[in-house]
């Protein structure tokens, strides 16, 4: 079908070859009356990207780091393709499913261009939450979260005033090491860390879910998305990942959003919010099959990456960007087999001690803090 014959709103899927990106393409393929794929971008994996192009006929395809392979004619190559895809006239919604701070420029550019950003790339808000909020205020752009916890909170909030909220309660599965002793966690292997009990996701977020750094990223994400102070955001462990998060209101009422652990609904809802549409691809929930539902406190002392991230959040300035970049660098080394699991948190700790008080208000200084943190972790790992 030609672009001119397209129905519905144009969606740019950034990071289309990943876990969220492929989910998004499935969702859009079921909703052809409402949405079409206007642009695709990915990092490597040109073969899968080419098959996605054949299936969806976007007007724009961007490939980052083609590793010397010759991309098909008509594709744009390079990191700038993310921003190009995100700001096109035929794009109404930018689904940012890039992993890491690499997604930052595209989010900010899309918001400045007044687009809806369906945001999976939580690192954007951790590095530059204030800049993203300012871009929304200036241009009329909006962020609708894809992250399941934040989608849940958005759905529980509805149109209520933020002043009605007493507390956000973010649930965490607890990851693969929820019941492990500190000694066993310290000796965890890569295979152990990649064995997530309830969610199937990309490798970086899967490791973040084992260290619980992911929950710190999510607390910061919630703070910026909903404008709620950190002392009104709590984390509780919920091993079944059925209650996706809760909102407590000032009168004591608590609303929760529930469903099976699947990203089909959060991705769909980020596109359709505030509407709800019928979709047979979203798995149905059976309360009896999913019982019992249990909750337990988070073991902050045994998951130092979470504690460090929460401290960085409260310290503000460059600290969240340093936390995020140190974590990205350490996780990359862990995934390459060049770092022990426990060293992820100690690397973050050392980077924050050295760089966490850097001043940063604009993009250039935040990116400088990001680069310094990556260099700090890499240099420290090289010495050990």
**303 is an interface residue for ligand NAD by CB under 6 A:** no
76 versus 166: smaller Cβ distance to ligand NAD:
76
What is the rounded (10 degree) CA torsion for 196, 201, 205, 206? 20
56 versus 209: smaller Cβ distance to Mg ion:
209
**304 is an interface residue for ligand NAD by CB under 6 A:** no
Contact predicate 352/124, CB 8 Å: no
Which residues of this chain interact with Mg ion, rule CB under 5 A? 147-149
**43 is an interface residue for ligand NAD by CB under 6 A:** yes
**15 is an interface residue for ligand NAD by CB under 6 A:** yes
Contact predicate 232/167, CB 8 Å: yes
N-terminal to C-terminal alpha carbon distance within the chain? 56
31 versus 206: smaller Cβ distance to Mg ion:
206
What is the rounded (10 degree) CA torsion for 367, 215, 376, 314? 70
CA 17 to chain centre: 15
36 versus 196: smaller Cβ distance to Mg ion:
196
Residues within window 245-274 making contact with ligand NAD, judged by CB under 6 A? 263
97 contact, one of ligand NAD, Mg ion, none, CB 5-8 Å limit per kind: ligand NAD
Question: Among all residues, whose Cβ is closest to Mg ion?
Answer: 147
**202 is an interface residue for ligand NAD by CB under 6 A:** yes
**20 is an interface residue for ligand NAD by CB under 6 A:** yes
The order of strands in the sheet holding 233-237 is: 233-237, 165-172, 243-249, 254-258
99 contact, one of ligand NAD, Mg ion, none, CB 5-8 Å limit per kind: ligand NAD
- How many residues bind ligand NAD (CB under 6 A)? The answer is 27
**233 is an interface residue for ligand NAD by CB under 6 A:** no
Stretch that binds ligand NAD, among 12-20, 132-140, 160-168, 169-177 (CB under 6 A): 12-20
Q: Which of 36, 115, 122, 178 binds ligand NAD (CB under 6 A)?
A: 122
Residues within window 125-154 making contact with ligand NAD, judged by CB under 6 A? 147
Please calculate the CA angle 158-124-363 and round it to the nearest 5 degrees.
Answer: 125
CB of 314 to Mg ion, least distance (A): 21
The CA–CA distances, whole Å, from 199 to 16, 169, 261 equal 19, 19, 7
- Tell me the C-alpha distance between 188 and 15, whole Å: 29
Contact predicate 224/137, CB 8 Å: no
Longest dimension (CA), the chain: 61
Residues near 372 by beta carbon (within 8 Å), at least 6 away in sequence: 322, 355, 358
149 versus 328: smaller Cβ distance to Mg ion:
149
Question: What would the two tokens of residue 114 be?
Answer: 């007044």
Pattern 64-103, ligand NAD, x by CB under 6 A: x-----------------x--------------xxx--x-
6 versus 204: smaller Cβ distance to ligand NAD:
204
The CA–CA distances, whole Å, from 230 to 94, 181, 304, 315, 360 equal 28, 29, 18, 11, 20
Binding-site ranges for ligand NAD (CB under 6 A):
15-21, 42-43, 45, 64, 82, 97-99, 102, 120-123, 147, 199, 201-202, 204-205, 263
């Amino acid at each position: 079908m030609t672009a001119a014959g397209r129905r519905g709103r144009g969606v740019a899927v950034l990071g289309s070859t990943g876990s969220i990106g492929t989910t998004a393409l499935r969702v859009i393929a079921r909703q052809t009356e409402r949405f079409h794929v206007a642009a695709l971008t990915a990092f490597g994996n040109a073969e899968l990207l080419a098959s996605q192009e054949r299936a969806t006929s976007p007007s724009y395809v961007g490939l980052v780091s083609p590793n010397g392979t010759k991309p098909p004619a008509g594709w744009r190559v390079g990191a700038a393709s993310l921003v190009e895809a995100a700001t096109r006239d035929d794009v109404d919604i930018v689904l940012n499913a890039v992993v890491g701070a690499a997604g930052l420029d595209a989010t900010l550019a899309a918001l400045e261009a007044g687009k809806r950003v369906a945001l999976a790339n939580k690192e954007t808000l951790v590095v530059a939450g204030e800049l993203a909020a300012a871009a929304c205020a200036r241009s009329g752009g909006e962020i609708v979260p894809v992250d399941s916890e934040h989608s849940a909170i958005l759905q529980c909030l509805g149109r209520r005033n933020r002043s009605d909220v007493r507390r956000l309660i973010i649930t965490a599965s607890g990851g693969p090491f929820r019941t492990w002793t500190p000694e066993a966690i310290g000796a965890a292997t890569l295979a152990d860390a990649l064995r997530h009990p309830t969610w199937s996701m990309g490798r970086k977020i899967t490791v973040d879910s084992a260290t619980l750094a992911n929950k710190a990223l999510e607390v910061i994400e919630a703070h910026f998305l909903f404008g709620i102070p950190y002392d009104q955001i709590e984390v509780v462990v919920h091993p079944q990942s059925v209650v996706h998060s809760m909102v407590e209101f000032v009168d004591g009422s608590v609303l929760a959003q529930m469903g099976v652990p699947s990203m089909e609904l959060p991705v769909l809802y980020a596109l359709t919010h505030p509407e709800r549409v019928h979709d047979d691809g979203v798995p149905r929930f059976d309360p009896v099959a999913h019982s019992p539902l249990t909750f337990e406190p988070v073991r902050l002392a045994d998951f130092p990456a979470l504690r460090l991230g929460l401290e960085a959040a409260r310290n503000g300035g460059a600290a969240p960007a340093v936390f995020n970049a140190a974590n990205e660098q350490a996780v990359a080394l862990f995934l390459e087999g060049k770092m022990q699991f426990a060293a992820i948190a100690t690397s973050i700790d050392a980077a924050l001690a050295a760089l966490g008080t850097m001043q940063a208000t604009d993009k250039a200084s935040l990116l400088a803090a990001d680069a310094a943190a990556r260099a700090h972790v890499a240099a420290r790992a090289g010495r050990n």
